[in-house]
Amino acid sequence: METAKPAKTISAIFDEFLTDQKDRIKHKTFLKYQNIIGLYQSYLESYWPGHDGEYDKITKAGGTYCNTFGPEDATEGYSEFLGYFMPRKVMCGKDTMQAAGTVTKKLAKWLAEKGYIEDTEDAQEQASEAAKDLPNAQEVLDILSAYLDETAPAKHGGEIEDHFWIEKIEPGKLWLNPLTAGKSVIGPIPVPKRVTALCEPAWDIGGVVAKVGKGWRLVEVWNVSP
């Protein structure tokens, strides 16, 4: 069965959205909008949310995700884009992380106002939370990276490399639950108090913990995902 091309594709809608914003915001802000929409398009073309089973058929015919599907799929990837792609695949600072949430929220609201999608409240809520959580997670990663550079233990053993869910938080202490390496919660693990002020339970820390003396320490951190 052939995929019917919509009256307006996602690519066309994204172009229209950026054109609408161009005269309403400062040039510097507009460049941020362009960057985030570009990142989101890159995500869509790589991950095909909601249509992964159609990738081979469409791409072999020369098609792309954003030039094949229409507005009903424009927010399909918000959860994975904001919860996985941005914190794990994009190297950037806090400003860009915050912009990812701000711009996708604006896009979702605009899609509803234009009548392209009937209801985007859930997408707007996801994006609003990301505008707060993504920059906080980036700050946690930056703080932990600097902290580990300064306080790396000379000797340690029993390394566990994994993704860890934050199970419990106290000022200056984290308890981590490894995703694949056993079921026992590891902790308390000392961290700067600013880290525990920013973190929330169920956030994901990718890295390495190790046994140091009678306790545990983080010795490497690669990413932090809300």
What are 14-32's pLDDT values in tens digits?
999 999 999 899 999 999 9
Mean pLDDT over 47-64 rounds to: 94
Cα 31 to chain centroid distance, Å, stands at 20
Per domain, the residue ranges of the chain are 10-132, 152-225
Q: pLDDT for 169-178, tens place per residue?
A: 999 999 999 9
Q: pLDDT for 84-116, tens place per residue?
A: 999 999 999 999 999 999 999 999 999 999 999
Q: pLDDT for 110-153, tens place per residue?
A: 999 999 999 999 999 999 999 999 999 999 999 999 999 998 77
Q: In what order do the strands lie in the sheet with 186-190?
A: 186-190, 173-178, 157-170, 204-212, 215-225
**Where does the pLDDT of residue 1 fall: very low under 50, low under 70, confident under 90, or very high at 90 and above?**
very low
Alpha helices in 48-120 (DSSP H): 55-60, 78-80, 86-89, 94-113
User: Structure pTM?
Assistant: 0.88
DSSP-assigned letters across all residues of 132-169 = HHHHHHHHHHHHHHHHHHHH--SS-EEEEEEEEEEEEE
**What CATH code is assigned to 152-225?**
2.40.50
